[in-house]
């Protein structure tokens, strides 16, 4: 299949990119890695009049420590982050989740910012960003603003980005002392989108949970932050009973759909099972830390 006809421009800077968006608005689409956009174009699910290629834009690909966390440029390739020792040390949840994104060839082209801006509710990176309360920096031709991950994902394949805005970077907080993180996912085949996936971070004081973070993918129209389950865990010992209670809270909160791959009931059940497994693994890592 071939995409519909469009005008094409390859920009060399973020300034040029936002100028294009200011001129063309909803008629323009940004091309990052193209791993999601190109299939959508080929299926005629989108028909932009103008394609703005970011691959030559300078200053959008980097990994650097900043402000007690890790800042990653929107055009940084997923495989680069996956193999980064700095990312593994500061944000291990991110590097644990990345190998589940498609296949190696896809991650060589796919970008961190592209996945977040696409906002597929079964993708890994939006759930990681939500779990960690990542901060996303976006800009247009006149100003820059920072959006928290909880406000960024607004609906199915929808974000708080305006049609004139470019996602330039995402900032993840570093893992706190005494914390452990884990990613768990079930898919029909490795590389497929998740039927359900769970990101977990646990901070322990002895056996008592001081902070818990849980986010899920594949179980709703947006990535889900399991706030009720988090509240149930904090202040109690991380035990089989407390993790089972958290799993029950997750099952009550999520609203999965049925499709050709899995029923809603199956996704809800798996979300609970993965919650227990992810919490147990995160807890083990927190105790070792």
pLDDT, one tens digit per residue, over 66-110 is: 999 999 999 999 999 999 999 999 999 999 999 999 999 999 999
For the structural domain made of 63-173, what CATH number should be given? 3.30.465.10
Could you report the per-residue pLDDT of 7-27, keeping only the tens digit for each? 999 999 999 999 999 999 999
The CA angle 221-222-227, to the nearest 5 degrees, is 120
C-alpha 268/C-alpha 277 separation (Å) is: 15
Which pLDDT score is estimated for 2? 85
Using alpha carbons, select from 223, 245, 173, 224 the residue that is nearest to residue 203: 173
Res. 289 pLDDT band, cuts 50 70 90 = confident
Res. 135 pLDDT band, cuts 50 70 90 = very high
Mean pLDDT of 197-213: 97
Q: What number of other Cβ atoms are within 10 A of residue 45's Cβ?
A: 9
Specify the CATH architecture of the domain 7-53. 2-Layer Sandwich (3.30)
Which pLDDT score is estimated for 84? 98
Which pLDDT score is estimated for 191? 87
Report helix, strand or coil for 172.
Answer: strand
Which pLDDT score is estimated for 236? 97
Entry pTM = 0.96
Report helix, strand or coil for 146.
Answer: strand
C-alpha 204/C-alpha 129 separation (Å) is: 21
Which pLDDT score is estimated for 72? 98
Average pLDDT of every residue of the chain: 97
Per cent of the chain over pLDDT 90 is 97
Could you report the per-residue pLDDT of 138-159, keeping only the tens digit for each? 999 999 999 999 999 999 999 9
Q: Which two tokens stand for residue 277?
A: 């497994």
Mean pLDDT of 212-226: 98
pLDDT at 124 over 90: yes
Res. 180 pLDDT band, cuts 50 70 90 = very high
Q: Which CATH class, in words, describes the domain spanning 179-288?
A: alpha beta
In the chain, alpha helices (H): 14-24, 37-42, 78-82, 85-90, 92-97, 104-109, 112-118, 124-131, 149-152, 227-233, 240-253, 264-288
C-alpha 125/C-alpha 255 separation (Å) is: 20
CB 162 within 8 A of CB 135: no
User: Could you tell me the residue ranges of all domains in the chain?
Assistant: 7-53, 63-173, 179-288
Sign of the alpha-carbon dihedral angle for 65, 71, 76, 78: positive
Which pLDDT score is estimated for 188? 92
Could you report the per-residue pLDDT of 49-65, keeping only the tens digit for each? 999 999 999 999 999 99
Mean pLDDT of 29-55: 94
C-alpha 249/C-alpha 107 separation (Å) is: 33
Res. 229 pLDDT band, cuts 50 70 90 = very high
C-alpha 34/C-alpha 28 separation (Å) is: 14
CB 112 within 8 A of CB 54: no
């Amino acid at each position: 299949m071939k995409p519909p006809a469009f005008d094409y421009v390859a920009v060399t800077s973020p300034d040029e990119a936002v100028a294009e968006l200011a001129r063309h608005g909803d008629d323009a689409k940004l091309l990052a890695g193209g791993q999601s956009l190109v299939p959508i174009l080929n299926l005629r699910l989108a028909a932009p009049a103008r394609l703005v290629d970011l691959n030559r834009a300078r200053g959008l690909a980097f990994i650097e420590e900043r402000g007690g966390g890790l800042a990653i440029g929107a055009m940084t390739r997923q495989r680069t982050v996956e193999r980064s020792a700095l990312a593994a040390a500061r944000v291990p949840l991110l590097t644990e989740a990345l190998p589940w994104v498609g296949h190696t060839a896809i991650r060589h082209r796919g970008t961190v910012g592209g996945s977040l801006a696409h906002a597929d509710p079964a993708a890994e990176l939006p759930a990681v960003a939500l779990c960690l309360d990542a901060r996303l920096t976006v800009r247009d031709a006149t100003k820059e603003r920072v959006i928290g991950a909880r406000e960024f994902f607004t609906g199915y394949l929808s974000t708080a980005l305006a049609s004139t805005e470019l996602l330039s970077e995402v900032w993840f907080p570093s893992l706190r002392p005494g914390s452990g993180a884990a990613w768990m996912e079930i898919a029909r085949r490795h590389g497929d989108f998740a039927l359900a996936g769970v990101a977990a971070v646990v901070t322990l004081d002895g056996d008592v949970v001081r902070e818990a973070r849980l986010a899920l993918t594949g179980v709703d129209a947006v990535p889900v932050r399991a706030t009720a389950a988090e509240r149930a865990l904090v202040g109690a010992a991380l035990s089989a009973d407390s993790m089972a209670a958290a799993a029950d809270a997750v099952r009550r909160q999520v609203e999965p759909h049925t499709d050709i791959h899995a029923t809603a009931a199956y996704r809800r059940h798996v979300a609970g099972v993965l919650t227990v497994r992810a919490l147990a693994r995160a807890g083990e890592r927190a105790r070792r830390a």
